[in-house]
């Protein structure tokens, strides 16, 4: 089978599309014929080696954390799924034609959207779910989503609106319409307007989705009213009102997200679709700030 792998850390040139043996599911695992994986900017950091102390990996490594596909083989002891089931999950090694995964990490794929598009949901959707959950939003509160145009941002905006928040979102011109479709009440174009000038008073909650240096973190924190709070999925803020969320793989959360997709409460918007051979190019574009929204990769070269 074909797989996107790295044999060493480095720039995007270390990504190779290779022919490797199809994996065999161990006890408690299943083999998935991959319909799609998705691109996550965190993989750029993993590929570079910057996460080697926090997330040690064994090289060579098949990339890809999100998977949507069809189960084609069961390992011993698997009773929760059957061959032919269409599933989604947050796994390792999904950037390939086939992938193995623990059966417990997989949930039934949504039926309201194409199977390949469901690959956009696991990591970004779970991160958004856990960040909004940590924000403890009260209906009517004013929430500022910083970085709403990214892959996580669209899910955050939708989940925050579902919780009853008034959502102010930062987004550039390329992602403005997508963020509005997600339900944002107000868009602040960070390329032309300062948040301090755009906001009429302070906000109750800031949910930060982008990496910030200390001065910009302090400026964002100053926009929060006394008694408010900050939730960040990237860097920590030097303030006691801030919490940092490190997303965890939780199949129960993913199943709830799937139910929201199937009910039409949450939409999954795909910004781009590519073949697996485009992965190195996507890494370069991400490093240059050239990607918005969710990008799906089909396991063909």
For residue 55, what pLDDT is reported?
81
Contacts of 170 (CB under 8 A, 6+ apart): 144, 145, 146, 147, 148, 149, 187, 188, 189, 190, 195
Q: Other CB atoms closer than 10 Å to residue 74's CB: what's the count?
A: 19
Give the separation between CA 295 and CA 270, rounded to whole angstroms.
Answer: 6
Give the separation between CA 295 and CA 301, rounded to whole angstroms.
Answer: 16
For residue 161, what pLDDT is reported?
98
* 119, 296 contact by CB (below 8 A): yes
**Average of per-residue pLDDT values in the chain:** 96
**53 has pLDDT over 90:** no
* 265, 258 contact by CB (below 8 A): no
Sign of CA dihedral 45, 48, 50, 54: positive
Residue that wins the pLDDT comparison between 166 and 56: 166
Collapsed DSSP state (helix, strand, coil) of residue 117: helix
**Cα-flanking dihedrals φ and ψ of residue 90, to 5°?**
-105, 105
**301 has pLDDT over 80:** no
Total-model pTM: 0.95
* 16, 10 contact by CB (below 8 A): no
Question: Is residue 78 very low, low, confident or very high in pLDDT (cuts 50, 70, 90)?
Answer: very high
Collapsed DSSP state (helix, strand, coil) of residue 74: strand
Give the separation between CA 79 and CA 97, rounded to whole angstroms.
Answer: 24
Collapsed DSSP state (helix, strand, coil) of residue 135: helix
The stretch 79-102 carries a mean pLDDT of 98
- The CA angle 142-145-151, to the nearest 5 degrees, is 145
What confidence tens digit (pLDDT) does each residue in 209-264 have? 999 999 999 999 999 999 999 999 999 998 999 999 999 999 999 999 999 999 99
**81 has pLDDT over 90:** yes
The stretch 106-128 carries a mean pLDDT of 98
For residue 282, what pLDDT is reported?
97
What confidence tens digit (pLDDT) does each residue in 257-281 have? 999 999 999 999 999 999 999 999 9
The stretch 185-191 carries a mean pLDDT of 94
For residue 56, what pLDDT is reported?
85
Give the separation between CA 87 and CA 182, rounded to whole angstroms.
Answer: 25
For residue 135, what pLDDT is reported?
97
**197 has pLDDT over 90:** no
The stretch 111-125 carries a mean pLDDT of 98
**285 has pLDDT over 90:** yes
Q: Other CB atoms closer than 10 Å to residue 100's CB: what's the count?
A: 19
Question: Is residue 51 very low, low, confident or very high in pLDDT (cuts 50, 70, 90)?
Answer: confident
Rounded (10°) CA dihedral 211, 213, 215, 217: 30
**Cα-flanking dihedrals φ and ψ of residue 273, to 5°?**
-130, 135
Give the separation between CA 301 and CA 290, rounded to whole angstroms.
Answer: 22
For residue 132, what pLDDT is reported?
98
Collapsed DSSP state (helix, strand, coil) of residue 272: strand
Question: Is residue 200 very low, low, confident or very high in pLDDT (cuts 50, 70, 90)?
Answer: confident
The stretch 152-161 carries a mean pLDDT of 98
For residue 71, what pLDDT is reported?
98
Question: Is residue 20 very low, low, confident or very high in pLDDT (cuts 50, 70, 90)?
Answer: very high
Question: Is residue 23 very low, low, confident or very high in pLDDT (cuts 50, 70, 90)?
Answer: very high
Q: Other CB atoms closer than 10 Å to residue 22's CB: what's the count?
A: 15
Question: Is residue 95 very low, low, confident or very high in pLDDT (cuts 50, 70, 90)?
Answer: very high
**52 has pLDDT over 90:** no
Structure tokens at 232: 């960040």
Question: Is residue 183 very low, low, confident or very high in pLDDT (cuts 50, 70, 90)?
Answer: very high
């Amino acid at each position: 089978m074909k797989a996107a792998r790295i044999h060493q850390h480095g720039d995007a040139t270390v990504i190779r599309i290779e022919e490797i043996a199809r994996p065999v599911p161990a006890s408690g695992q299943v083999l998935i014929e991959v319909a799609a994986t998705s691109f996550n900017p965190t993989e750029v950091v993993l590929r570079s080696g910057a996460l080697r102390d926090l997330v040690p990996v064994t090289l060579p490594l098949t990339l890809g954390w999100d998977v949507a596909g069809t189960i084609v083989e069961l390992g011993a002891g698997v009773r929760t799924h059957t061959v032919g089931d269409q599933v989604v999950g947050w796994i390792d090694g999904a950037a390939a034609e086939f992938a193995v995964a623990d059966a417990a990490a997989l949930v039934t794929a949504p039926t309201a959207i194409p199977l390949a598009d469901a690959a956009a949901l696991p990591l970004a959707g779970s991160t958004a779910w856990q960040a909004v959950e940590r924000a403890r939003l009260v209906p009517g509160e004013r929430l500022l989503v910083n970085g709403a145009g990214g892959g996580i941002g669209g899910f955050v905006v939708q989940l925050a609106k579902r919780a009853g928040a008034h959502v102010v979102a930062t987004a550039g011109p390329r992602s403005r319409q997508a963020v509005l479709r997600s339900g944002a009440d107000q868009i602040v174009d960070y390329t032309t307007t300062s948040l301090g000038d755009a906001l009429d008073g302070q906000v109750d909650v800031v949910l930060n989705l982008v990496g910030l240096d200390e001065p910009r973190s302090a400026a964002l924190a100053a926009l929060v009213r006394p008694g408010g709070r900050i939730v960040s999925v990237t860097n920590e803020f030097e303030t006691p009102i801030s919490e940092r969320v490190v997303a965890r793989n939780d199949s129960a959360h993913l199943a709830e997200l799937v139910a929201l997709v199937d009910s039409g409460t949450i939409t999954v918007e795909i910004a781009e679709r590519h073949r697996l051979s485009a992965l190195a190019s996507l890494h370069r574009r991400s490093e240059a700030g050239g990607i918005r929204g969710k990008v799906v990769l089909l396991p063909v070269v």
